[in-house]
A and B are shown apart, each in its own frame.
Chain A
């Protein structure tokens, strides 16, 4: 088996022949270049891939283009469903959602032109996920928020149902790829909330999600982004998620990002955040839950390129069964990025004897006017806290449950939607056998209100 097969397996076969060039962004030259670079990529020697290999899928063949079907896209804007099929899906005074192919074709105004140029530049990058993506490019979505507008909340869900795979393709040894790319372009002073989620129906055959999410935060804009991902896993099939979230944050803009990684057989999530101008801010948090024998690899790079930026990272891993959790988080502070404050934290909880955690919090700092810290822990629950709960009469199981709930509770509280909380709860129950103590009703108890009314 050649080196390249060991690296990328069927992902190195383009989904569509190289000669076709039917969209405005990926040229055949771009594909050619990607193919060349990926073939030469030596995953075994790459520090960034130290704990992850794709050997689970190397024996598989790519499902033919004819067999491929589109997954089910569900979009809603401020709680109203948007029809996903039309080229220009939504257009109002605050924001527009258009397909990439439409953006390439249409007469663009200044804002659309800026977005267009930005996307072109991003696709041209020498970057592994972009290379993979250009081999499996399907049309994408662009969301543009007009200057000064607070657009509200956008939900984008990609669901792959079992029935959508044709019977013929459901044979073993083929791999289906769902590839998607979404671009958020926020003009100055704009604001948007986004919930992006990935789901698959249980019992799906070998399946790969290839996802690219990019964000451009102009001066003083604000983006709240929540990403939730869960794939059907186990049962003689393999699910693979390769995701990349990249954000460029300009002066005084504010990015809040929450990642909920509820599991694939193999999930690699790359987060690449760049604070480009002064007083930009990024707050990143995440939770990854490991069950069965999954491998969850979070790979995060955060660059402070300008003075007076702030960043925080809090990623938690709860790992059960034979799962493995990997966290690599690098904070890079450039020369000249004075007055930087960055903190990073990665606690891991091992919930079974065979689970494994790897954590690499990294600081790379080229300037002395900084306050940076990171912390990482791997272990079980706090023994003093367990004793305290038991000394108050909770039995051991209840005490363990309460503390585990508290461990995941911090992230859970920040989730903006009940359905996300429910997804997390059911995932906790299914994969870790953990019934959350904080049930829906409990959490909403307003003690002060009750107190005032009795």
Chain B
């Protein structure tokens, strides 16, 4: 069972919301934990068993951790975090034999590490309720792509879980928007990407190579954005507010901003763990005044995002390249680029980001040279191929939607309209969401 399945949207979710409203407030946290386990059970028994076993074991271990008053706190905390990462690696390895077994485990591990860090820093309190710990780490709404929510943003809400029409309304809008992004845009773009990636290297033309990178970048954005919106929507419907994961990375004016926007909560966690304060690193414009520690924090953030995108060795290379670009931005050409108009800065950043995707996208590292030659348009390369024309003509609507919605312009226009005509905007929004729900449901059949 996934968020984009008919049985989830029209059976699991409504029954879940109905019971949530019916359950007295003090039982809502245990209810959410049980509901989450039911979700994992329906998604696959191994996923449930792994999460449940981890959850129980870690809750007991945390109890010992709270009691520990010795001097080797940092070592103990590090060992705990290392154990969580080791379990994550084992589960990821196991999931290559048992697909679906890793659902929720990445978010679980990252949430636990974030909690350990906050606990170590004194910014989080001990869990005295197993149910609260279970919901914090395994809530089904954030099972697929997070977000990785920190203790202070999530746990205090559990004390007074409420279900209001406003929260459900907001959640419904986010969920339907996310669903439509996944079904209408992401599916089409991912299809183009898969088709183009299956074309042999010798058949690539200049345009098809760039189209491959573009569709790859859009697949990343719309898939993450879709799951992020659905997760926020689901959390909101169950009375929980969580931050978004992604925020229009391709309109960023610098690489560091672009990467930090791909998974904001994970990136911030990495910054926090390495530098001690994510805010102080984020506050530095393009890291002109950054010291080595802050740069190391940025490198950790880039690595975390890269591995989260795809846990493979090639992503290490990609992360190193991106970090090199960040350094180049800081030390080499920032003086030049700062005088460029904002739109050009964004375009330049997006272009280089696309270029960097050649690394993870090319099937073999040995073909990278050939691919780059095609990208640069070396003489002798064809401009357009039949395959590209066909893939584009048969998916033009997805490409068009991707081009419209990959920047925040439609969002801003909608907000502007909503400020000037709030009631009309609300009606229009409801109508638009209804249309999206019907269309998405139709496409799921």
Q: Is the A/B pair a real complex?
A: no
